[in-house]
C-alpha cells in the first residue's frame, strides 16, 4: 500500500484545501459558513486519530487524497437535522436501530485501506446514509452500494442524487451474496460484522482486488480484516488470499430484510 506522510505545515496541502473549500462553497450553499470551521477541525482530528487507532499494520497516516475527498463531502447532509451539530465530531452517530454512522477517522481508515484508483469499481455492502459511498466515489470510477433496509436505501439514493454523487448506484439486497452479475470488483467493503470471511465475495474480486470486512471474534469486538488477492503466475491456478487482521472496530450486526 502506498502511504504518504506529511506535516501539518505543508504549503501544498493548504493550497489544495483552499481550492477545495471554494468547491464546497458552490456545493453546500448557505450551510457552508456554518460548517466550514467544524469540517476543518474534523480533518485535523482525523489526521491525529488515524495513526492512533489503526495499529501497526494499518495506515500510519492518511493519504492526502482521502482527506481531500472528505473535505468535498458535506457530512452534515448525511445525518438527521438534530445531529448536524455533532456530525463533525469524533463519534459514531445512530441512524437506525442497530445501525450507526462511523466516526470520521473510521471512514478515513476504510477509504485509505482500499487504496482506490480512478478506474476502480467498488462494491459496498451496507449503504447506511450513503456517506462512505459518496467518499469512495470521489476516488474510484464506480461505486455500487447495496442496503437491506428499504427506508435507508431509498433515503440514501435520493440524498446522493440530490448532492450530485452520480458515480454511486444504490441497490436493494440482503445478506452477503454481493452482486455477482455486476462484478468483478477491485474493492469490496462490508459494513456489517460477520463470523467469517465471506467466500462468495472473494470470488467477486479482480485478480488484484481487496476485501475489507469486520470479522467478529468470540466474545470480543469485531476486527477489521483486509483480504487481498495474491497474484498467481499461472492463470489457471486457484487464487490465494492474504488475510490480515488490522484493528478492532465498531460494526453493525447484519440486519434482517424488511
* Residue 87 pLDDT > 80: yes
| Residue 237 CA to its chain's centroid (Å) | 32
18 occurs within a structural domain: yes
Domain annotation covers residue 133: yes
Q: Is residue 234 part of a domain?
A: yes
CB atoms within 10 A of CB 258: 11
| Residue 228 CA to its chain's centroid (Å) | 17
C-alpha cell at 148: 437491506
- Of the chain, the percentage scoring pLDDT greater than 70 comes to 81
Q: How confident is the model at residue 93 (pLDDT cuts 50, 70, 90)?
A: very high
List strand residue ranges (DSSP E) for the chain, in order: 93-96, 99-101, 121-125, 142-147, 168-172, 185-190, 192-193, 205-215, 223-230, 240-248, 252-253
Contacts for 218-226: CB closer than 8 Å, 24+ residues apart: 220/248, 221/248, 221/249, 221/250, 222/193, 222/248, 222/249, 222/250, 222/251, 223/247, 223/248, 223/249, 224/109, 224/110, 224/113, 224/248, 224/249, 225/197, 226/113
Could you say which DSSP state residue 116 is in? Answer: -
**What's the CATH number where 92 sits?**
3.40.50.150
2 in a structural domain = no
Residues 37-59: tens digit of each pLDDT: 999 999 999 999 998 887 655 66
Q: Residue 86 is placed in which grid cell?
A: 455533532
The mean per-residue pLDDT over the stretch 79-97 comes to: 93
Q: How many other β-carbons are positioned within 10 Å of the β-carbon of residue 122?
A: 25
Q: Provide Rg for the chain, Cα atoms.
A: 18
Residue 150 near residue 167 (C-beta atoms within 8 A): no
Could you give the CA distance from residue 31 to residue 127 in angstroms, rounded to a whole number? Answer: 24
* Assessment of whether the complete model's pTM goes beyond 0.85: no
pLDDT reported for residue 10: 39
* Residue 99 pLDDT > 60: yes
pLDDT of residue 163: 97
- The reply to whether 178 falls in a domain is yes
Report pLDDT digits (tens) over 146-175.
Answer: 999 999 999 999 999 999 999 999 998 877
Tell me how far apart the terminal alpha carbons of the chain are, to the nearest angstrom.
Answer: 39
Supply 3's cell numbers. 502511504
Which residues is 122 bridged to in the sheet? 143, 187
Residue 5 has pLDDT above 60, yes or no: no
Residue 3 within any structural domain of the chain: no
Q: Is residue 185 part of a domain?
A: yes
Tally the domains of the chain: 1
Range(s) of the domain holding residue 150: 11-253
Model confidence over 111-140: pLDDT tens digits?
Answer: 999 999 999 999 999 999 999 999 999 999
> How is residue 90 written as a grid cell?
469524533
Please, what is the angle between helix 32-53 and helix 104-114, to 10°? 60
What integer pLDDT is reported at residue 143 of this predicted model? 98
Residue 46 in domain: yes
Amino acid at each position: 500500500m502506498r502511504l504518504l506522510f506529511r506535516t501539518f505545515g505543508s504549503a501544498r496541502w493548504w493550497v489544495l484545501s483552499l481550492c477545495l473549500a471554494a468547491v464546497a462553497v458552490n456545493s453546500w450553499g448557505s450551510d457552508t459558513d456554518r460548517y466550514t470551521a467544524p469540517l476543518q477541525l474534523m480533518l485535523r482530528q482525523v489526521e491525529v486519530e488515524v495513526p492512533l487507532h489503526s495499529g501497526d499494520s494499518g495506515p500510519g497516516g492518511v493519504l492526502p487524497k482521502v482527506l481531500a475527498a472528505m473535505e468535498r463531502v458535506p457530512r452534515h447532509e448525511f445525518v438527521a437535522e438534530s445531529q448536524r451539530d455533532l456530525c463533525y465530531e469524533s463519534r459514531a452517530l445512530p441512524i437506525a436501530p442497530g445501525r450507526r454512522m462511523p466516526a470520521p477517522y473510521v471512514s478515513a481508515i476504510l477509504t485509505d485501506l482500499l487504496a482506490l484508483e480512478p478506474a476502480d469499481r467498488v462494491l459496498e455492502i451496507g449503504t447506511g446514509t450513503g456517506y462512505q459511498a459518496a467518499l469512495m466515489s470521489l476516488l474510484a470510477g464506480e461505486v455500487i452500494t447495496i442496503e437491506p433496509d428499504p427506508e435507508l436505501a431509498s433515503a440514501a439514493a435520493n440524498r446522493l442524487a440530490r448532492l450530485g454523487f452520480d458515480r454511486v448506484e444504490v441497490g436493494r439486497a440482503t445478506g452477503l451474496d454481493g452482486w455477482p452479475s455486476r462484478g468483478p470488483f477491485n474493492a469490496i467493503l462490508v459494513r456489517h460484522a460477520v463470523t467469517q470471511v465471506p467466500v462468495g465475495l472473494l470470488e467477486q474480486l479482480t485478480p488484484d482486488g481487496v476485501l475489507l470486512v469486520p470479522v467478529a471474534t468470540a466474545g470480543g469486538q469485531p476486527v477489521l480484516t483486509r483480504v487481498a488477492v495474491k497474484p498467481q503466475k499461472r492463470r489457471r491456478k486457484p487464487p490465494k488470499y492474504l488475510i490480515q487482521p488490522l484493528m478492532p472496530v465498531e460494526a453493525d450486526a447484519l440486519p434482517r430484510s424488511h
